[in-house]
């Protein structure tokens, strides 16, 4: 038995008297990880995950995943089955294989080859298990991490004696976050090749009950739209075949009870730590139980495994909260900030930035860039980012049909290179502060235009399938990062620039999906190559703040987040659309990881006109606040408002980066969406409150706050002090003026 890293207070736990698979220690406290003969329990602060080895079959059966439990419940043995659905179709299984009478969706499907065999039956039986302090790294894949004491790991070894296939299942428990992280190794120990047609990272069976599922759908410029619907009999799933996690769906699933709200009720959250094509299946089976599997998309898999080889799946996080959807989100946020994002910037306030894209697009030269940088510095912004257009000589990057792949500074625009310009820019004083302006640069290293020197030299470096057309999207092709020589090229292209100019921020863009791949499994090989590149560059340049981007939020996933502490949330910078996109993204991801910018009106994507303060207040709810405009395009009144807004952004940024987020009312339910953040110490809070449509001749609601200490007193923006109880139970009534797109930020300080 493992030394425990967490003990729940005795008083909180009712002791079980006699139980089949006990998990309480002698003194009644709950241990984090317990293996009792062939029964296992993983316990968090408010969550238990329990399963055991069935004596008769050697299969793993789930006993419980939900709130804390100290022993197995009173569960009647299954009656002798009638009909076609035998025991295997009725039990709650941990990693269901295919072909032995479980007629639900399998977690794993293995095709055996050699000697004319084409079986897809597997017979994975328990062999042994081991307990490990801490959490072993997942070789070549992004993963959560933690010290011994923070996380402990159970590894269960399964074996198919007929085909000599070993499956090692890893379960790591982060007690503080009520999170279990699972991944699977599949090893071919036989003498014939096999093919993995499906290998889910996680499969979970929940007992018969009514459930609803929550997930995200979208497309370019309208990412992360929340969907909530009931789980019906049959299979209902979603995923991505874009080669990337994509705008279409996010590798995130929540299951909730029908009566679960933002702040109350059962919520199970699942998050796949992966950036490629994925699949989520949710099946309510004939007998009533629910099965969910998350993992690589089987349509782009068929992974050949030779004798002696091991395949490692990405990992999947499973979280339980009884504090509703909001409670689940906060656990994801905390886990991801502390135990997934490895950048030193993970919990650091981020510099307010100005990005040149919507201000200049491709039309710039050394002097216009310097002018924009000067205007940026005058505003008191801390970081100037030069977007697309600075590279390519044989094919100068003056529009999106040429130059991509040629990461040399364009000599026509920058005759002296970037070095002297960046030196000058980084000498500029930011506003009235003593800080100097920092410089950031845009890259899209995984892509190439056919109109480029690189493509002329290496047409074979792009993803392609023999003579099938190399379909262009945005005039570009995808470099095949599975190839080691392409990985080296990408690493060197980016490193060369970072070595020669004082660049402290990189925006890493990726603007198309994959088509015409070389093999069924090329997209996963690509991901392994990409992860090697990201690992190498972020290790070599630990002081550079990397921001991920994929035509906006096309790769807003935990895989990218492991390397890049922030990602651009959407190309749509319209304030109103952004409220929905950012609230949706916050279901799984910490606001600290969201890039959010203010742009000019009418908005370039939505055409909408909203007040500057509204746009800025919405953008302040992202960890990386900034501007996507040329200040010269603002009105004089707007320019006059800017210093106060930037100073407010600087003030709330540490709270948004480190704080617990409470979504107080949702944009899809209310004309007054609101969210608040409270620092981990509980000493400060920031409340963001919006009015979408003007409220004419009608009362305004009371906004009830959450998460405060009921007995503490808080100063509310210089308008008196109130107890937490009053703020949470009575609320605050703010009188929005009669206007569309009203906004209000309230700061609270505990007295
Ligand atoms: C596996 O098969 C071998 C012979 O093929 C047999 O001796 C052994 O008992 C089997 N082990 C299990 C766990 O079934
Ligand atoms: C999975 O396989 C990898 C590579 O062979 C190995 O490093 C790792 O320890 C294995 N993990 C488990 C849980 O067996
Ligand atoms: C840079 O562009 C601006 C605006 O198009 C133009 O006025 C200026 O002459 C250009 N400067 C150089 C050095 O090309
Ligand atoms: C892009 O620029 C090239 C070179 O200046 C020009 O030939 C081409 O027509 C431009 N394409 C578009 C779409 O503007
Ligand atoms: C700098 O200080 C001046 C004088 O107090 C003020 O007018 C200006 O708005 C300040 N600039 C910024 C960016 O805060
Ligand atoms: C670049 O490629 C496009 C096709 O994507 C072609 O129409 C265009 O003429 C090319 N431009 C140059 C400058 O080669
Ligand atoms: C607090 O007082 C200020 C100044 O009187 C006012 O502008 C603000 O709207 C008030 N805040 C709230 C939440 O009512």
Domains in the chain: boundaries: 95-339, 353-568
- Residue 464 backbone phi and psi in degrees, to 5: -160, 160
Cβ–Cβ < 8 Å for 239, 288: no
From CA 355, how far away is CA 353, in angstroms rounded?
Answer: 6
Look at ligand 5, atom 3, and give the residue with the nearest C-alpha: 432
Prediction pTM value: 0.95
Question: Do 95-339 and 353-568 fold alike per CATH?
Answer: no
The answer to whether residue 571 is catalytic is: yes
Any atom of ligand 4 within 6 Å of the Cβ of 475: no
Look at ligand 3, atom 3, and give the residue with the nearest C-alpha: 368
Question: Which ligand gives the minimal distance to the CA of 169?
Answer: 2
Q: What is the dihedral of CA 596, 597, 599, 603, to 10 degrees?
A: -10
Strands 234-239 and 278-284: antiparallel
Handedness of CA 618, 239, 322, 34 (dihedral sign): negative
Confidence check: pLDDT of 4 > 90: no
Q: Both tokens of residue 621?
A: 């709810």
- Shortest-distance atom of ligand 2 to CA 153: 13
Any atom of ligand 6 within 6 Å of the Cβ of 401: yes
Confidence check: pLDDT of 276 > 50: yes
> pLDDT > 70: what percent of the chain?
96
The answer to whether residue 509 is catalytic is: yes
Q: State residue 27's pLDDT score.
A: 59
Confidence check: pLDDT of 8 > 60: no
Q: State residue 1's pLDDT score.
A: 34
What average pLDDT is seen over the chain? 94
Q: What is the assigned CATH class of domain 95-339?
A: mainly beta
Handedness of CA 493, 498, 501, 505 (dihedral sign): positive
Any atom of ligand 3 within 6 Å of the Cβ of 416: no
The tens digit of pLDDT for each residue in 599-622 reads 999 999 999 999 999 999 999 999
Look at ligand 2, atom 9, and give the residue with the nearest C-alpha: 136
From CA 293, how far away is CA 205, in angstroms rounded?
Answer: 9
**Residues flanking ligand 5, CB < 6 Å:** 379-380, 431-432, 643
| pLDDT (mean) for 132-142 | 96
- Shortest-distance atom of ligand 5 to CA 647: 14
> pLDDT > 90: what percent of the chain?
92
The tens digit of pLDDT for each residue in 712-722 reads 999 999 899 99
How much distance in Å is there from the Cα of 359 to the middle of ligand 4?
A: 20
Q: State residue 9's pLDDT score.
A: 31
Q: Which residue out of 643, 646, 651 has the highest number of ligand 5 atoms within 8 Å of its CB and is therefore the one to mutate?
A: 643
Report in angstroms the alpha-carbon separations of 539 from 135, 224, 385, 394, 563.
20, 30, 22, 32, 9
353-568 has CATH 3.40.50.2300 classification:
no
The residue with greater pLDDT, 11 or 407, is 407
Any atom of ligand 3 within 6 Å of the Cβ of 120: no
Q: State residue 682's pLDDT score.
A: 98
- Name the percent of the chain in helix, strand, coil, to the closest 5: 20, 30, 50
- Which of 571, 574, 650, 660 is an active site residue? 571
As annotated, the binding site for substrate includes 220, 387-388, 474, 507-511, 549, 571
Any atom of ligand 7 within 6 Å of the Cβ of 734: yes
pLDDT band at 679 (very low <50, low <70, confident <90, very high): very high
């Amino acid at each position: 038995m493992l030394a425990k890293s967490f003990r729940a207070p005795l008083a909180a736990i009712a002791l079980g008297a006699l139980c089949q698979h006990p998990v309480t220690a002698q003194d009644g406290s709950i241990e984090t990880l317990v293996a009792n003969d062939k029964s296992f329990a993983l316990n968090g602060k408010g969550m238990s995950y329990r399963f055991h080895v069935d004596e008769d079959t050697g299969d793993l059966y789930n006993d419980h995943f939900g709130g804390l439990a100290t022993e197995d419940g009173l569960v009647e043995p299954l009656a002798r089955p009638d009909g076609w659905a035998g025991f295997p179709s009725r039990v709650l299984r941990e990693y269901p294989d295919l072909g032995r009478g479980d007629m639900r969706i399998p977690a794993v499907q293995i095709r055996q080859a050699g000697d004319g065999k084409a079986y897809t039956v597997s017979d994975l039986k328990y062999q042994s298990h081991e307990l490990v302090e801490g959490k072993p790294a997942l070789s070549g894949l992004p993963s959560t991490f933690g010290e011994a004491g923070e996380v402990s790991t159970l590894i269960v070894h399964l074996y198919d004696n007929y085909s000599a296939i070993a499956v090692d299942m890893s379960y790591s428990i982060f007690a503080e976050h009520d999170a279990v992280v699972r991944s699977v190794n599949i090893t071919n120990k036989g003498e014939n090749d096999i093919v993995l047609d499906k290998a889910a990272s996680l499969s979970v069976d929940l007992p018969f009950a009514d459930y609803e599922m929550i997930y995200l759908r979208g497309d370019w410029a309208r990412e992360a739209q929340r969907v909530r619907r009931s789980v019906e009999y049959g299979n209902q799933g979603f995923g991505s075949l874009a080669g990337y996690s994509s705008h279409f769906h996010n590798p995130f699933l929540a299951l909730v009870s029908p009566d679960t709200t933002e702040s109350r009720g059962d919520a199970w959250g699942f998050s796949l730590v992966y950036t490629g094509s994925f699949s989520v299946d949710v099946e309510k089976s004939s007998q009533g139980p629910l099965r969910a599997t998350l993992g690589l998309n089987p349509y782009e898999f068929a992974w050949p495994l030779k004798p002696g080889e091991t395949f490692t799946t990405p990992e999947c996080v499973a979280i339980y909260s009884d504090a509703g959807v909001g409670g689940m989100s906060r656990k994801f946020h905390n886990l991801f900030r502390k135990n997934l994002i490895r950048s030193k910037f993970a919990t650091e306030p981020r510099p307010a930035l100005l990005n040149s894209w919507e201000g200049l697009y491709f039309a710039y030269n050394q002097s216009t860039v310097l002018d924009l940088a000067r205007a940026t510095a005058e505003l008191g912004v801390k970081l100037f980012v030069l977007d697309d257009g600075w590279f390519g000589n044989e094919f100068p990057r003056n529009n999106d049909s040429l130059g991509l792949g040629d990461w040399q500074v364009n000599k026509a625009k920058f005759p002296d290179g970037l070095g002297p310009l960046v030196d000058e820019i980084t000498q500029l004083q930011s506003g009235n502060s003593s800080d100097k302006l920092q410089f950031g640069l845009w890259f899209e290293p995984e892509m190439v235009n056919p109109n480029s020197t690189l493509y002329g030299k290496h047409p074979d470096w792009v993803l392609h399938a023999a003579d099938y057309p190399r379909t262009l999207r945005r005039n570009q092709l995808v470099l095949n990062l599975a190839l080691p020589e392409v990985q080296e090229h990408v690493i060197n292209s980016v490193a060369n620039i970072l070595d020669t100019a004082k660049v402290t921020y990189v925006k890493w863009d990726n603007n198309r999906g994959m088509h015409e791949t070389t093999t069924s499994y090329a997209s996963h090989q690509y991901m392994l190559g990409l992860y090697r590149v990201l690992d190498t560059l972020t290790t070599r340049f630990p002081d550079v703040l990397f921001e991920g981007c994929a035509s906006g939020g096309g790769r807003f996933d935990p895989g990218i987040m492991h390397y890049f502490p922030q990602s651009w949330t959407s190309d749509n910078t319209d304030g109103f659309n952004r409220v929905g996109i950012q609230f949706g993204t916050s279901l799984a991801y910490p606001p600290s990881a969201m890039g959010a910018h203010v742009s000019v009106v009418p908005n370039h994507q939505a055409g909408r006109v909203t007040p500057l303060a509204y746009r800025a207040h919405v953008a302040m709810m992202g960890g990386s606040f900034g501007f996507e405009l040329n200040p010269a395009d603002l009105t004089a009144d707007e320019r006059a408002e800017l210093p106060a807004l930037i100073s407010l952004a600087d003030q709330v940024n540490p709270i948004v980066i480190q704080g617990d987020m409470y979504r107080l009312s949702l944009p899809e339910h209310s004309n007054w969406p609101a969210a608040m953040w409270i620092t981990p110490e509980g000493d400060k809070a920031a409340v963001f409150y919006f009015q979408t449509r003007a409220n004419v001749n009608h009362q305004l609601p009371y906004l009830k706050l959450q998460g405060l200490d009921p007995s503490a007193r808080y100063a509310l923006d210089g308008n008196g002090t109130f107890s937490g109880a009053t703020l949470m139970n009575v609320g605050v009534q703010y009188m929005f003026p009669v206007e569309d797109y009203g906004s209000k930020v309230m700061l609270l300080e505990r007295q």
